[in-house]
Every structure is written in structure tokens, then in C-alpha cells.
Amino acid sequence: MYRDMTRGGITRSLLLFALPMMAGSLLQQLYNVADTLIVGRALGRDALAAVGSAFTLMTFLTSVFLGLAMGAGALFSIYLGRKDMASLHRAAALALCLIGGVTAAVTALVYVLLDPILRFLQVPDPLYGDMAGYLRIIFVGLAATFLYNFFACLLRSAGNSAAPLWFLGGAALLNVGLDLLFILKFHWGVAGAAAATVSAQLISTVGCFCYAFAHYPNIRLKKEDWHITMHDVRRHVSRGIPLGLQFSVLAVGIIVMQGGVVQFDMLDGRMVSNAAQNGFGAANKLNSLVMTPMNALGTAMTSYTAQNMGAGQPERIKKGTLQALAMVSILAGISIAIGLGLSFGGSYLRIFLSVDKVTAETMRYGNTYLYVDLAMYLFLGFIF
């Protein structure tokens, strides 16, 4: 399952490496989509709006951890390209400490600041309790999110993008099963959806950890690997922070927008509708799904570039960049076509919302947001 991207056909290598990541990213998106589908049909419109609003904050936090892990993964790939296993081991040990510390700090911070965050998002009173309860349980799983992304990036840096997919696939199926059990059987409400997501994430993390250290003995850490220098720290910070910001900037924009969207459902300080929130939430989920192939190709380029940088092959990096730009242009066209196709007649709304919530107003809000986003997809692909 190892893929050496420092030799052979570039387009073929990138596609074979990126395809499992595309599938994996789609599965990761399905965690919250499954919650939304089941909550929307079983618990009513307020519960649905609460879970949909929580999605933006969850996406932001997940993006930060993914970006930091990708920064570490780039270093892993460089050292693997150089065949420098001692530096790889130190980098893995340092990444665990640094990103683990960030995770602990962020987890503590979001618990302390949960009320101010929800006020900033202008969450209406009818949704406040459900959304706060949902997020408090979801935040318990932030450590599992960090660890999964760390081990997944470690495996991808070694050229194995398939193994993380299998664990994500199993976790996505488990999440659906637990959603049905906790919500329909145990009647835990919105808290049950959150508990199902956290449980599935934790199981996929344990599986990924066991697989990584069982099948790749050369990445097992030893006592001497924890002797970390300031040079190692600077290298991690210089790569991790920009990638963390890159992966989170879209989510930050959506969080800021969330507060504005709520206002469309308010009249004289009272909530009179959920049309804007439901339309925005459904369109945002579709947007996250259809942009996934472009994002995955960008992530594959990180490993490709790092491996070839480590191997001292700058010309291959240039060729790979040009070929990747051509590929992402095609993917952007396909994503736009899918998004437009699902917007006709509000088809995507019927995927994410129950029939009684699909109204002309919901469709108008969702499609307006979706069409503006799709118009910029080529530029988004180039950024990735």
C-alpha cells in the first residue's frame, strides 16, 4: 500500500493517491450529514437547526487540527523522501506533543467560552439548549479528531492513503448505527447524535493507531526520539501554522456568516422561521461535499511535493504542479455540474431536510448561497 511519488507517472501517482483521500474526506463529511438526516426526521425543526448550526463550529475546529497535522505530515514526507528515519521519528514525537498541547488548550478554551461563542453566533433561544448540549459532547471527541488526523497524515506521508479510508468507512457506518440506536431506541435526543459521532471517531482513531504501529515498525517511537531541539520546533511551527490557517479560513468565514443568516429568520427580535438557517445549512453541507475532490487533490499535492522536495527533485515538483492544476480544473467543472444539477427543484434540500421543511423560502436562501459559491470554484481549486 506504499506509494513512492518520487518516480513514475505523475498524473497516475497523484490520482491513485488522491482517490482514497477523496473517498475518505467524503466519509468524514458524512458524520454530521448522518446526524442531520436522522435528527431532522426524528426530532423536529429546532433540533435540526441546532445540529446544522453546530456544523460550522465543528468544521472550523476540525480544520485547525487537520491543518496542523498536514504541516507535520509534510515534514514526515520530506524526511521519508530523504530516507532520514531519525529525523522522522523526532518529527513524529514533536508533532504529538505540539498538536496534543494545542488540542488540550483549544478543548479547555471552547468549554470556557462556549456561551460567548454561541452569543457571537447569535443562536436563538429555542435552539440554545440543544446546540450547547450537542457541542459539549462533541468537544469531548476533539482529542480523538486530532489523533485520527495525526495517524492518518503519518500513514499518508508514507504513501499509504488507503488505510485511513477503511477506518473512516467503518466509523461512518458505525456512526449511522449508533445514531439510530441512541436517538430512536434510547431517546437521547440531540445528545445521542453527538454521542454517536464521538464514539465512532474514537473507535476509528484506535483502529488507525493500531494499524500504523503494527504495519510500520520503522515509525515506532523510541526513548531517544523524544530528544527534541528548538530547530525541530521552528520547522514544525513554520509549516503547521500556515496550513492550519489555510484549512480553517473557509470555516471562519462560514462561522461569521452564521450569525448573519439567523437574522433572516428573525422579526422584531423573535424567530419566526427556520427557512434561512435550514437553506444555508443544507447548501453548506452540499458545498462541503462537492468541493471535497478538489480539497483531497490539494492534500495529495502536499505529500507529493514534500516527498520530492526530500528527494531533491524540484523539476518533478514543477511538472506535478502543472498537471495538478489541469486536474483540479476538470474536478472544478465536475463539482459545479453536480452542484447545479442538485440545485434544480431543490433536490439537495430533500436529501438533508424532511419534506415539511423544504419550502420556497428555504430553496431561495439555499440556492442563492450555493450559486455564488459554485461561481468561484475554479479559484478555490487553484488555492487548494
pLDDT in tens, 316-357: 999 999 999 999 999 999 999 999 999 998 899 988 777 888
Q: What was the pLDDT predicted at 61?
A: 79
Distance CA 220, CA 204 (A): 19
pLDDT in tens, 140-181: 888 888 888 888 888 877 778 788 888 888 888 888 899 889
Q: Closest Cα partner for 262 from 372, 371, 118, 58?
A: 118
- CA separation, residue 197 to residues 35, 37, 163, 168 (Å): 8, 13, 20, 12
Distance CA 122, CA 190 (A): 19
pLDDT in tens, 240-251: 778 777 777 777
* Structure confidence at residue 2 as a pLDDT band (50, 70, 90): low
Q: What was the pLDDT predicted at 31?
A: 63
Helix (H) or strand (E) holding 89: helix 85-112
Average of pLDDT values for 24-37? 70
Which 3 state secondary structure label does DSSP give 240? helix
**C-beta of residue 82 within 8 angstroms of C-beta of residue 310:** yes
- pTM for this model (two decimals): 0.74
* Structure confidence at residue 1 as a pLDDT band (50, 70, 90): very low
* Strands (DSSP E) found in the chain: 266-267, 270-271
* Structure confidence at residue 376 as a pLDDT band (50, 70, 90): very high
